[in-house]
Every structure is written in structure tokens, then in C-alpha cells.
């Protein structure tokens, strides 16, 4: 089955998404997600200008070969832009292969290892009471695991609590670890007292802490029995995880900012974390995720793929096909999409009583309505940045 055409669809139903559509000489097409929040058009151009021309005429069946051709063949390999472009192509090729074989993608990845996929979603608030109320609402909907974030008094905007963080110009948040390190343990103490121990809780430090701060927070949160504590340190400070690991028993998760399995390797092979949190849309798609899951399995880690609202339902379905297939699945993040998304994307994960399932359809199980997509033109948007109290730039 020869690749005849590659289309890039940029649409903004509530937020920007980039979709790759690979059309073949047998009239079958596959779709993939290539959304890189804040850099959408750069990825779209990379696919249109550099990748599409060299894939026309190639056999779409040879996914691994095409993956290596786009990774090694680029010479200047890796990084978020190329790996997101590669992810879109990869997902579309798996969708194609599934449609051609009339099988869901997970069946081609080795079949089901489970009937349903445990997931978590986000709750946040300005005050503890608001976080509690939002949490009780999600628990009533059936969620068994919740990620909790709260505004830090005195700081202008706190990660995870600012509505729709993509803006025409970067929103500037202020960061100071002192009030953060005081408030977060208090939040967990409050929540455990108010909503009990039944629900699993997760918190995302979003790569902002120094090693001593991370150790202090991890130790103070141990008694609240977290499912995991996410992204304590920046991806450039892998060595720092060893010190954390040696001083706390809290489960650790990391990885959404990695763009290759080699970046994740030190944390995996030294068992410095428990959950690998890479993003299929930024690490080269399903092909790379299956390799990462096998690597993680080798060192007794579980998967917890990144699942924010800034990757499309196609990517969320790709997550689930891998989650179904691998033995070492841990949990799946599912941030809720803007309403308009369902006008453009047909099909997606089904939520029931804390778990996700996917439609038993050939391919990934999702389609895009191109006419509807045109009704939501691209809107330039930047992620926030964070500044320390002295005005210097800090990790967001
Ligand atoms: C976050 C993301 O879901 C998460 O774990 O870290 O929401 C992240 O902030 C966004 O994907 C950035 O685009
Ligand atoms: Mg995160």
C-alpha cells in the first residue's frame, strides 16, 4: 500500500491541534496527532515541507523503517518539533495498518492485556474547599484517582490552576518555592481529613523544585499515600533523582518533557522513578512507546503516559491502545477536552466508573471531520512562563 498524499490539518476547537492524514493508493487513510502546544505551526511545516515529500511512494506497511528513516535520516535528530512530527506520522501509519487488517491497533501490538484502563483526571482550585468540592464531584462521576493542584497564596497564577493556559502572549506566573512547600502538604492533610483515604491522589510539581526542596516535599507527603508525585525536578537534573530516591519511599513519576527513550534511560535503568510519563505525541508515537514500555518493564517500572488536553483525542486513543497491550501498564492521565473538540474529532476514549475503554473499531478508532475543522481556524497561543520574585525566569 503506497503513500500517495500527506495532509496536515491545523484546527482550533477550543484549543489548537495538528492532525496528520496519510492517504494511500488503496483509498484507505490513517490519521495521527502532531500537536506541540505553543509550537503547532512549526510542526505542521516540518511535516509539509520536509517529511511529506520524502514519504510519497513509500510502502506504508513498513512503520519501523519509516520511523528510522525520519529519525536517523534527518541527521539532526530528536527534539520536541521533529519527534512530534514523527509521532503524527507514526500514529497515522498504525491507524492505516489497523484499518487495512480490519483490527484495532492494540490487536497488532500484541492484543489485550486488560479489559479496561485505570485513569486519572485533574482537579484544582483557588482554596482547599474548592479543591475538595471539585474532587467530590469527580469521585461522584466514578474517578478513583485524582491529580490535585491548588493556587499558592501570594503568587500570580499557579500551574494547574490557571484556566486555559495558552494565551496570545505568554502569561507570566510568579514562582516562590517557600509558600508552595508550606501549602501543598497542608492541602493533602486537609483532603485526607475531608475526603478520606479511599481515593488515590497525585500531585504534579511541574519540574520546579531544587533537590533539597523536592526531598522535603516528598518526605512530608509520604503519610498521605500518593499514587505518585510527578516531575519534581527539571529534565536536565536527572542526577538529582538519586538523592530523592535515597531519602523517600514516595512513588515517583517523570517524563513528559523527554523526546527520546535515551533521555529516559538513566531514570529507568537506575530505577529512580516508578512511573514513566512520556508523551506519545512528543516521543515519536506508538512505535517508540512500545519500546519504552518494554524498557520500563525490564526495570520493573510502569507506564503512566502523558494525557493532557493539549494533545488531541487521536493521541489519547493511541495512549489507550498501548495501555491495553503492554503488561506493565500503571495508569492513564485523561485531562478533559474543550467542548468544541467533539465537533471535529469523531470517536475517543469512553469513560466509565474510573476506567477507560476504546471502541472495537479497525485502526485507532477515531476520525476527523475536515469540514468542521475548517470552522475552527488556528489561533496563535503561547504557554505561560514563570518568573521568580527577583524577576528572573524560572521553570513553568
Ligand atoms: C501537565 C501538562 O498534564 C500534565 O502532567 O504537566 O498539563 C503540561 O503542563 C502541558 O501539557 C503543557 O503543554
Ligand atoms: Mg505533568
Q: What is the number of residues in the chain?
A: 396
| pLDDT given at position 232 | 98
Q: How far apart are CA 55 and CA 51, in angstroms?
A: 6
Domain-wise residue ranges, the chain: 3-104, 108-362+383-394
Cβ of 310 below 6 Å from ligand 1: yes
Alpha helices in the chain (DSSP H): 40-45, 52-55, 63-71, 79-100, 105-108, 128-141, 177-195, 211-221, 240-247, 261-269, 285-298, 313-325, 341-344, 370-374
159 catalytic, yes or no?
A: yes
User: Which amino acid residue places its CA nearest to atom 7 of ligand 1?
Assistant: 308
Going by the DSSP 8-state scheme, the letter that residue 226 receives in this structure is -
53-71 tens-digit pLDDT:
999 999 999 999 999 999 9
For ligand 1, mutation pick of 36, 157, 204, 208 (most atoms within 8 Å of CB): 204
Please give the CATH topology (third level) of the domain spanning 108-362+383-394. TIM Barrel (3.20.20)
CATH architecture of 3-104: 2-Layer Sandwich (3.30)
Is the pLDDT confidence value at 160 over 90? no
Ligand 1 centroid – CA 308 distance (Å) = 6
Q: Which ligand is nearest to the CA of 279?
A: 1
| pLDDT given at position 159 | 85
Cβ of 256 below 6 Å from ligand 1: yes
Cβ of 204 below 6 Å from ligand 1: yes
Q: Which ligand is nearest to the CA of 395?
A: 1
Cβ of 122 below 6 Å from ligand 1: no
Cβ of 15 below 6 Å from ligand 1: no
The whole-model pTM stands at 0.97
Smallest Cα–Cα separation from 329: which of 360, 366, 356, 363? 356
- Which set of grid coordinates corresponds to residue 219? 518526605
How many CB atoms sit inside 10 A of residue 322's CB? Answer: 25
| pLDDT given at position 163 | 60
User: Which amino acid residue places its CA nearest to atom 13 of ligand 1?
Assistant: 37
Smallest Cα–Cα separation from 5: which of 60, 69, 82? 60
Going by the DSSP 8-state scheme, the letter that residue 230 receives in this structure is E
Catalytic residue among 29, 106, 159, 355: 159
pLDDT category at 50 given cuts 50, 70, 90 is very high
Ligand 1 centroid – CA 27 distance (Å) = 36
Q: How far apart are CA 175 and CA 387, in angstroms?
A: 6
Torsion sign across C-alpha atoms 234, 329, 203, 166: positive
Buried b (16+ CB within 10 A) or exposed e, 137-169: ebbeeebbbbbbbbbbeebebbbbbbeebbeee
On the 0-12 / 13-18 / 19+ scale of CB atoms within 10 A, 309 is: middle
Domains 3-104 and 108-362+383-394 alike in fold: no
Amino acid at each position: 500500500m503506497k503513500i500517495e498524499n500527506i495532509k496536515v490539518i491545523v484546527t482550533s476547537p477550543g484549543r489548537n491541534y495538528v492532525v496528520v492524514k496519510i492517504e494511500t493508493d488503496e483509498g484507505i487513510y490513517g490519521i495521527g496527532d502532531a500537536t506541540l502546544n505553543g509550537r503547532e505551526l512549526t510542526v505542521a511545516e516540518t511535516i509539509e515541507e520536509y517529511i511529506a515529500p520524502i514519504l510519497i511512494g513509500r510502502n506504508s506497511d513498513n512503520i519501523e523503517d519509516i520511523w528510522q528513516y525520519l529519525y536517523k535520516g534527518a541527521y539532526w535528530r530528536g527534539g520536541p518539533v521533529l519527534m512530534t512530527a514523527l509521532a503524527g506520522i507514526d500514529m497515522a501509519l498504525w491507524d492505516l495498518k489497523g484499518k487495512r487488517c480490519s483490527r484495532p491497533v492494540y490487536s497488532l501490538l500484541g492484543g489485550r492485556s486488560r479489559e479496561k484502563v485505570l485513569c486519572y483526571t485533574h482537579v484544582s482550585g483557588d482554596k482547599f474547599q474548592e479543591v475538595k468540592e471539585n474532587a467530590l464531584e469527580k469521585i461522584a462521576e466514578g474517578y478513583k484517582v485524582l491529580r490535585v493542584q491548588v493556587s499558592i497564596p501570594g503568587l500570580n497564577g499557579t500551574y494547574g490552576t490557571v484556566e486555559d493556559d495558552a494565551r496570545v502572549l505568554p502569561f507570566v506566573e510568579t514562582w516562590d518555592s517557600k509558600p508552595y512547600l508550606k501549602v501543598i502538604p497542608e492541602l493533602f492533610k486537609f483532603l485526607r481529613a475531608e475526603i478520606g483515604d479511599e481515593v488515590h491522589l497525585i500531585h504534579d510539581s511541574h519540574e520546579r523544585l531544587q533537590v533539597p526542596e523536592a526531598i522535603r516535599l516528598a518526605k512530608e507527603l509520604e503519610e498521605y499515600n500518593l499514587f505518585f508525585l510527578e516531575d519534581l525536578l527539571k529534565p536536565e537534573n536527572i542526577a538529582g533523582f538519586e538523592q530523592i530516591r535515597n531519602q523517600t519511599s514516595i512513588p515517583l513519576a517523570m517524563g513528559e518533557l523527554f523526546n527520546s527513550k535515551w533521555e529516559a534511560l538513566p531514570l529507568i535503568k537506575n530505577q529512580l522513578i516508578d512511573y514513566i510519563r512520556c508523551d506519545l505525541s512528543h516521543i515519536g508515537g506508538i512505535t517508540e512507546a512500545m519500546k519504552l514500555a518494554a524498557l520500563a518493564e525490564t526495570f520493573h517500572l510502569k507506564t503512566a503516559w502523558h494525557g493532557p488536553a493539549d494533545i488531541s483525542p487521536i493521541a489519547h486513543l493511541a495512549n489507550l491502545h498501548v495501555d491495553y497491550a503492554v503488561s506493565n501498564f500503571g495508569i492513564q492521565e485523561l485531562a478533559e477536552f474543550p467542548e468544541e473538540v467533539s465537533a471535529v474529532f469523531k470517536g475517543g476514549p469512553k469513560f466509565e466508573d474510573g476506567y477507560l475503554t476504546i471502541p472495537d473499531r479497525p485502526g485507532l478508532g477515531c476520525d476527523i471531520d475536515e469540514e468542521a475543522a475548517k470552522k475552527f481556524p488556528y489561533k496563535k497561543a503561547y504557554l505561560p512562563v514563570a518568573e521568580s520574585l527577583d524577576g528572573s525566569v524560572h521553570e513553568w
